[in-house]
């Protein structure tokens, strides 16, 4: 084996650096076995989004009257527990099912949609990626029929 000096052209070095830099800036795809809960950032991240979404709803004249007299701390805790459970986290939601919880409230479709819009604003604030946003909104969309007009 001869000992020749290694010669790398400036062009080769530049190309290699560019390729490696591009890989370093590209986010790693999530592992196939990660849950939505993990990809969202766990319970602290879910709690932050819920807190922000409830603040948005409280400031939203389309629906804020729905929250008058509501125990907001209890509502936030229930929503965090629900999302933690449904997104594959370690929580167990022990609240009432959505139909029973909203019985007699006569929530309209436009009010449900306003709350979803307030949540989307929070997802934007926390820069939740499109995949996780879609999965979370799908999860919540499954509750729509149990909540509207009950």
Q: Spell out the domain ranges in the chain.
A: 34-147
pLDDT in tens, 53-74: 999 999 999 999 999 999 999 9
pLDDT at 98: 94
Say yes or no to pLDDT of 129 above 50. Answer: yes
Round to whole Å and give the CA distance between 75 and 72.
5
Say yes or no to pLDDT of 120 above 90. Answer: yes
Say yes or no to pLDDT of 10 above 50. Answer: no
Residues 92-100 have a mean pLDDT of 95
pLDDT in tens, 17-39: 333 344 444 455 555 679 999 99
Residues 124-142 have a mean pLDDT of 97
How high is the mean pLDDT of the chain?
85
Q: What is the DSSP code (8-state) at residue 90?
A: S
Round to whole Å and give the CA distance between 143 and 134.
15
Residues 6 or more apart whose Cβ sits within 8 Å of residue 37? 43, 46, 84, 87, 88, 89, 90
Torsion 87-54-48-113 (CA) sign: positive
Q: pTM here?
A: 0.77
Round to whole Å and give the CA distance between 83 and 143.
12
CATH class of 34-147: mainly alpha
């Amino acid at each position: 084996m001869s000992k020749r000096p290694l010669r790398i052209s400036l062009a080769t070095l530049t190309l290699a650096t560019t390729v490696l830099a591009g890989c370093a800036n590209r986010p790693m795809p999530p592992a196939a076995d990660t849950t939505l809960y993990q990809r969202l950032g766990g319970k602290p991240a879910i709690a932050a989004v819920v807190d922000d979404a409830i603040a948005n709803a409280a400031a939203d004249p389309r629906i804020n009257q729905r929250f008058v007299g509501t125990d907001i701390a209890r509502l936030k805790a229930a929503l965090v527990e629900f999302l933690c459970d449904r997104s594959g986290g370690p929580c167990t939601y022990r609240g009432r099912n959505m139909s029973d919880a909203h019985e007699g409230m006569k929530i309209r479709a436009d009010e449900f949609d306003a709350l979803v819009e307030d949540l989307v604003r929070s997802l934007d604030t926390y820069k939740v990626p499109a995949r996780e946003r879609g999965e979370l909104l799908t999860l919540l969309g499954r509750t729509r029929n149990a909540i509207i007009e009950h």
